[in-house]
Structure 1
């Protein structure tokens, strides 16, 4: 399955924050949108970095109670795991494994096109497994042929 097919099943809105916003604002955005990852940009189509729940946890561990008021620019991840819209799902799974990340930023040309999360991977692999199981059941039962 190509990543562009997964993006078609998701909301087309790519949520982003600016480098000048605070970690507290990011966390409120996470909660309001039930997400755990945002792109950091100053303008549409730009990616300066990303912020994940993990980045926020690391900031609290390192800076303590001052972390929530820190600017996104000071806690964001500038080394971002990316893939293309034309990459296949197993390739993105390998990226997640090698980078030890739960989110991969999908790029279309030089611009962010969406995000694939570990939840998306599990959902699509589960659907694939269920389809395969049903096909095997139909084959064994002799109902696969009409």
Structure 2
């Protein structure tokens, strides 16, 4: 399965925040939108970095009570994990494993076209597994043929 196929099943919106936002503002956005990851940018199409729930947890561990009012620019991830819209799901899984990240930006040349999360990967692998299971069941039982 290609990354582009996964994106077609998702909402196309890539949510971003400016580097001057505070951690508390971003955490409220996470809660309100039921998300755990944003792109950090000053303008559309730009990528300065990313910010995840894990980045926020690490900032609290490092900066203690100062963290909630810190600016995103002070603790965002600047080493952004990316893949191509034409990459296979297995490549994204490899990136997630090697980079120890739960989110990968999907690029079409230099343009961000989406985000693939670990949840997306699990959902699509589960669907594939269920389809394979059904095919094997039909084969064994001699059903499913036209």
TM-score between both structures, scaled by the size of structure 1: 0.98
Tell me if 1:13 matches 2:13.
yes
> What is the aligned partner in structure 2 of residue 4 from structure 1?
4
> What is the aligned partner in structure 2 of residue 133 from structure 1?
133
> What is the aligned partner in structure 2 of residue 82 from structure 1?
82
The ranges of structure 1 where at least 4 consecutive aligned residues each deviate by more than 6 angstroms after the TM superposition are none
* Post-superposition offset of 1:111: 1.6
State how far apart, in whole Å, the 1-side matches of 2:9 and 2:58 are.
31
Residue-by-residue CA offset, 1:21-55 (whole Å, 9 max, x unaligned): 11111100100111110000111111110000010
State how far apart, in whole Å, the 2-side matches of 1:106 and 1:76 are.
18
Instruction: Tell me the number of residue pairs that the alignment of Structure 1 and Structure 2 aligns.
Output: 146
CA RMSD in angstroms, aligned pairs only = 0.7
Contact 1:81 1:95 in 2 (8 A): yes
TM-score between both structures, scaled by the size of structure 2: 0.98
Residue-by-residue CA offset, 1:48-67 (whole Å, 9 max, x unaligned): 10000010001000101110
Structure 1 stretches of 5 or more lacking a match? Answer: none
State how far apart, in whole Å, the 1-side matches of 2:3 and 2:78 are.
22
> What is the aligned partner in structure 2 of residue 110 from structure 1?
110
> What is the aligned partner in structure 2 of residue 64 from structure 1?
64
* Post-superposition offset of 1:94: 0.3
Structure 2 stretches of 5 or more lacking a match? Answer: none
